[in-house]
Amino acid sequence: MKPPVALVTGAGSGIGKATAFALARDGYKIGALGHTQEEISSTVDEVLANGGEAVSLLADISDERQMAAAVKQLTQQYGRLDAVVANAGINGVWAPIDDLKLAEWNHTISINLTGTFLTIRATVPELKRFGGGSIIVVSSINGTRTFTTPGATAYSVTKAGQVAMVQQLALELARHHIRINAVCPGEIETNIEANTSLRKEGETAIPVVWPEGQVPITGGQPGRSEDVADVIVFLASDRSRHITGSPIWVDGGQGLLR
């Protein structure tokens, strides 16, 4: 039997990079997709150095043609597709609703929500062609379990939309033996803050005093990218064969406090 193949978007850093490594250790060939060649090449090089197989796919997930070309490149190189991890995203601009510009709103929607749609739309025909598979969408506790992040309206809407997309598609895709689930991380040590612009926080912050440490299970410390990656590997595998349409919160209990 040929090794399974996984596409991981946003594979150049954080959760995406950890997921690429974790899937490679589990025997997957990796399509590492991102919009920055240097980061993607670094991920691929590390997978190869550890005895895995990976290919670099340069694409903007919000660009229909680029995504179609990337998926075609992956399936032509490895001959199949078994798992899709729609991880790429940004925090975008967090600002009061009357200060949030339409262009800022559109940018967050385009990357996080339209990008997820295009990733799924480009890969579903390939999953069908190879007899099924698993799709994992990386959402967030924001918009699904908590709503207290100052000014994160656009971001929270995209994260809620991703879970709705997962639940809507679970029944549609089941007849094709394609499972689709969402992981919803809480505070995780990644560099997504580089894609965050926080403006006028004082106008939107909610004055609440949290219990000591926002992540109970780790004594307040953020989770690691690997904590999310391990859940994604489980959802990609046959070990989760009876799970579809489900959001799974990977937040150490943080969302229950907030």
Cβ distance 85 to 123 under 8 Å? no
- Which tokens is 20 given? 């690429």
* Interior/surface letters 46-71, b for 16+ CB within 10 angstroms, e for the rest: bbeeeebbbbbbbbbbbbeebbbebb
**List 78, 94, 117, 155, catalytic entry:** 155
**What letter would DSSP give residue 208?**
-
* 78 noted as active-site residue: no
How far is Cα 232 from Cα 14, in angstroms, rounded to an integer? 13
- Which tokens is 202 given? 């004082």
- Which tokens is 71 given? 């998926």
Active-site positions read: 155
